[in-house]
Amino acid sequence: MRRNILVFSLMFGLVSLFPAFSQEPSIWPWPYMEAEEYVFHFLPLGGWNTPGSFSPRSVAMGETYFTSRNSTAGFLNPAYLSYLSDPQFSLSYRYTENRYKTSYWNPFEPRPQDDFFEARTFGRKTDYLDTAGLALPFEKWVLAANYFLFQEFNFPEIRGLFFGLPHSVIQSGIMKGLNVAFSCRLTESFSLGASASYVFGDIDRVQQLPEVYILQANKDAGRTHPFLDPYPEASQKYVYDAKGFFFNLGFTWEPSRKLILGFSLRPPFSLDIRTEIDFMDWSGQRAHRSEENYFKHPLVSVASVLFHPLEPLLLTADLSYWGWGKFSTDVDLGWLGSYDFQGVLKLNLGAEYKINLPFEQIGSLALRAGYIYDPQPYRYSPSIARDYFTFGFSLPVGRFDFDFAAKLGLSAREQHRFHSDVLQVGAGYRF
């Protein structure tokens, strides 16, 4: 048995280090070849591969699925609800600091050697109720209901020069969700679960930029190039009202008391989007357009493992596939952006160590840590990933559980990319 533990721990360590050594350099040597991230209106803070909110315990352990020991398991792997033995209510609160670095220059042209064009950093802080949920076990069945923060889109106000002229972008918005889930323990070692979620929210975005005129240089050749008026500035306001349903299916298998295996599936789903666009030119003339759009989220499949090699030690890992290659939308980014996405594999790792305490009401202290390797689906070259280190702790006090978690970005804060750090606190009460 000790040999198996040693082999598993060695494999866990190698898998943990592999992304760090295999990732290509994330500093772009030719930034003028790539569009900036803020052109994507539907880019969630923290990256594209965001399934939704996690409990603080799960965040502290690398946002792994088999660490959500409360109702939030319902929209991750609902079969894992079967491991809850007591009715419980839980909630959590999230604080996010988001930063963006860019230069006062056009990303499609070589950078001038001038101090005025040095990179500038912009930031924004937000806080929200992250989750609130109830889980109710009934013999072999467990029912759960949740409110959760699905995705956040609060970009900082980014100011720079666009072809040498003033340009700014600011965006606010969140997607919230309601979820109902159930699990059923079919045998002592096998459980199934399913859930349904309704997500809704809106995004408000304001862009100030120079007016762009398209001139046809050669009618026979059919070539065009943009011409920017050096004085007038146009204002563009976008309001997206989005809503949609998605489902999660999952199962767990416990071949031994020290090992749990699982698989979950979120089929593709589409957000129905009502788009309102207002334009105003330099003279004050306005134009308005309304559209009905869609934004298709990809298939997400997740394989999970939880290993209990020693009484105080717990290790867990998720390997997920995000099928962005089949993604589609009719939301137009204009000539600045492209939805040329590809499927990616994401890796989440977590560990927990419990320390027994000599107190009647506080019996233990759980220390947690994790790692997230999150390659992004858009086809930039070289490829980039959002790497995170996570940590936290938990204190049970009688029937209450108090949790703290932090998620810190490890990737270099290079230009044209969002960098997000998260702090989360939570509490639960077992009836």
State percent of the chain over pLDDT 70.
78
Most confident listed range (95-109, 155-169, 184-198): 184-198
Confidence of residue 338 (pLDDT cuts 50, 70, 90): confident
Report the alpha-carbon distance of residue 390 to residue 373 in Å, rounded: 11
pLDDT tens column, 170-180: 999 999 999 99
DSSP state of 378: B
Confidence of residue 286 (pLDDT cuts 50, 70, 90): confident
Of residues 404 and 282, the one with the higher pLDDT is 404
Query: ∠ CA(46), CA(48), CA(52), 5° rounding?
Result: 70
pLDDT tens column, 57-109: 999 999 999 998 899 999 899 999 999 989 999 999 999 999 988 765 544 44
Report the alpha-carbon distance of residue 318 to residue 335 in Å, rounded: 37
Give the pLDDT of residue 131.
95
Report the alpha-carbon distance of residue 302 to residue 279 in Å, rounded: 43
The answer on pLDDT for 119 being more than 90 is: no
Domains contained in the chain, number: 1
Confidence of residue 35 (pLDDT cuts 50, 70, 90): low
Of residues 213 and 153, the one with the higher pLDDT is 153
The mean pLDDT of 271-292, rounded to a whole number, is: 89
The answer on pLDDT for 49 being more than 80 is: yes
409-413: long-range contacts (C-beta < 8 A, 24 or more apart)?
411/26, 411/384, 411/385, 411/386, 411/387, 412/26, 412/27, 413/99, 413/101, 413/121
Report the alpha-carbon distance of residue 418 to residue 155 in Å, rounded: 9
Give the pLDDT of residue 283.
74
239 neighbors 275 (Cβ within 8 angstroms): yes
Give the pLDDT of residue 358.
83
| Average model confidence (pLDDT) across the chain | 83
Of residues 202 and 20, the one with the higher pLDDT is 202
26 neighbors 391 (Cβ within 8 angstroms): no
Q: What is the CATH number of the domain that holds 33?
A: 2.40.160.60
CA 256 to mean position of chain CA atoms: 33
The mean pLDDT of 29-48, rounded to a whole number, is: 71
Of residues 63 and 35, the one with the higher pLDDT is 63
The answer on pLDDT for 16 being more than 50 is: no
Lowest mean pLDDT among 105-114, 206-215, 303-312: 105-114
Report the alpha-carbon distance of residue 206 to residue 287 in Å, rounded: 15
Lowest mean pLDDT among 310-314, 330-334, 378-382: 378-382
The mean pLDDT of 184-191, rounded to a whole number, is: 95
Report the alpha-carbon distance of residue 238 to residue 208 in Å, rounded: 12
Distances (CA, A) of 57 to 190, 346, 384, 409: 24, 19, 27, 18
Of residues 308 and 234, the one with the higher pLDDT is 308
Q: Which amino acid is at 201?
A: G
The mean pLDDT of 242-257, rounded to a whole number, is: 96
The answer on pLDDT for 135 being more than 60 is: yes
Give the pLDDT of residue 7.
37
The answer on pLDDT for 21 being more than 70 is: no
Give the pLDDT of residue 58.
96
The answer on pLDDT for 191 being more than 70 is: yes
Report the alpha-carbon distance of residue 75 to residue 180 in Å, rounded: 8
The answer on pLDDT for 40 being more than 80 is: yes
Domain residue limits at 84: 2-430
Residue 220 is encoded by which pair of tokens? Answer: 């026979």
CB atoms within 10 A of CB 59: 33
- Name the residue among 146, 149, 131, 150 with its Cα closest to residue 179: 146
Residue 16 is encoded by which pair of tokens? Answer: 């943990």
Give the pLDDT of residue 161.
58
Q: Say how many CA atoms lie within 13 Å of 426 toward its Cβ.
A: 33
Report the alpha-carbon distance of residue 69 to residue 149 in Å, rounded: 18
Query: ∠ CA(84), CA(179), CA(88), 5° rounding?
Result: 30
167 neighbors 133 (Cβ within 8 angstroms): no
Strands 344-356 and 385-397, sheet pairing:
unpaired
The answer on pLDDT for 275 being more than 60 is: yes
Give the pLDDT of residue 104.
55
Report the alpha-carbon distance of residue 182 to residue 327 in Å, rounded: 29
End-to-end CA gap in the chain? 37
Report the alpha-carbon distance of residue 389 to residue 370 in Å, rounded: 6
The answer on pLDDT for 362 being more than 60 is: yes
Confidence of residue 19 (pLDDT cuts 50, 70, 90): very low
Distances (CA, A) of 330 to 5, 243, 291, 334: 50, 15, 10, 11
pLDDT tens column, 207-240: 887 655 544 555 555 554 544 444 456 788 999 9
Report the alpha-carbon distance of residue 318 to residue 12 in Å, rounded: 12
